[in-house]
Chains A and B, each alone.
Chain A
Amino acid sequence: MKSLLDRIKNNPVVRFVGFSRVVLLAVVLLLIGIFSLLSPLLNKGVVFLDINRLMSALNYYYFIGFLALGVTFVIATGGIDFSIGSVMFCSALISGYCLTRYGLPLWLCILISMAVGAAFGAAGGFLAAYIRLPSFITSMALMLIAKGTGSIFTMTQSVSWPKLSDGKDAWFRYFISYNGFPTGLVILIVFAVLAGILLFKTRPGRYIVCLGSNREAVRLSGVDVRKWEMLAFIMSGLFAGIAAIFYVGAYTTVQPGMGDIFNNEAIAACVMGGTSMAGGSASIFGTIIGAFVIAMVQEGILSMGFNINYQYVLTGLILFTAVAADTISRRRRN
Chain B
Amino acid sequence: MSNKMPVSDLLVQPRKRVGFGKLQQIVMFLVLIALIALFSILSDSFWKYTTFVSIFGYMYYIMLMAIGVTFPLITGGVDLSMGAGLVSYAVIGSYLIRINGWSTEWAVLLTIGMGVFIGFINGTVVARIGLPPFITTLCTMMITRGLGPILTSSFSGTWPTSGQPGGWIRDIWRVTTSNTDNAYFRFISNIWPDVEGMRRGIYPVGIIWMILLAIIMTFVLNRTKVGRYIIGIGSNKEALRLSGVNVVKWQTIAYMISGFFAGLAAIAFAGTLSTITPGTGAGFELEAIGAAIIGGTAMTGGSGTIIGTFIGVLIISVLKTGLPFVGLQANWQQVITGAVLLAAVIMDILKNKKKVSD
A residues at B contact (CB < 8 Å): 80, 82, 127, 131-134, 136-138, 140-145, 147-149, 151-152, 156, 256-257, 260-261, 264, 277, 309-317, 319-320, 323-324, 327-328, 331
Contact = CB atoms under 8 A, between A and B. Distances in A.
B129 A256 contact: no
Nearest to A142: B338
Which 6 pairs from chain A and chain B are nearest by CB? A312-B146, A316-B142, A144-B338, A148-B334, A148-B335, A313-B146
Interface string B129-148: 11110111011111101111
Contacts, number: 125
Given A127-B342, A324-B129, A257 B286 contact: no
Given A140-B341, A319-B135, A133 B150 contact: no
Contact of A319 (B129, B139, B334): B139
Interface of B: 78, 125, 129-132, 134-136, 138-143, 145-150, 154, 279, 282-283, 286, 289, 299, 330-339, 341-342, 345-346, 349
Given A264-B138, A312-B145, A257 B331 contact: yes
Contacts of A147: 331, 334
A320 B125 CA distance: 10
Given A133-B345, A316-B141, A141 B136 contact: no
Contact of B345 (A80, A141, A145, A148): A141
A319 B125 CA distance: 13
B149 A309 contact: yes
B149 A317 contact: no
Given A309-B146, A324-B131, 7 more contacts: A137-B341, A144-B334, A148-B338, A149-B335, A312-B145, A317-B139, A323-B135
A23 to B, nearest CB: 18
A310 B147 CA distance: 8
A310 B146 contact: yes
Given A147-B334, A148-B334, A319 B142 contact: yes
15 contacts: A127-B346, A141-B286, A142-B342, A145-B334, A147-B331, A148-B334, A156-B330, A156-B331, A257-B334, A260-B282, A264-B142, A309-B149, A312-B143, A313-B147, A327-B129
A149 B334 CA distance: 9
Nearest to A150: B331
A56 to B, nearest CB: 26
Best-buried of B147, B299, B342 by chain A (most CB within 10 Å): B342
Given A141-B345, A324-B129, A80 B134 contact: yes
B135 A277 contact: yes
B346 A140 contact: no
Contacts of A331: 130
Contact of A152 (B130, B132, B139, B332): B332
Nearest to A132: B349
A131 B346 contact: yes
A313 B139 CA distance: 8
Contacts of A315: 142
Contact of A141 (B131, B332, B342): B342
A3 B108 CA distance: 53
Nearest to B352: A132
Contacts of A127: 342, 346
B348 to A, nearest CB: 9
A144 B142 contact: no
A258 to B, nearest CB: 11
A93 B6 CA distance: 60
A132 B78 CA distance: 18
Nearest to A82: B138
Nearest to B286: A140
Contact of B132 (A82, A143, A260, A323): A323
A320 B139 contact: yes
A264 B80 CA distance: 13
Contacts of B134: 80, 136
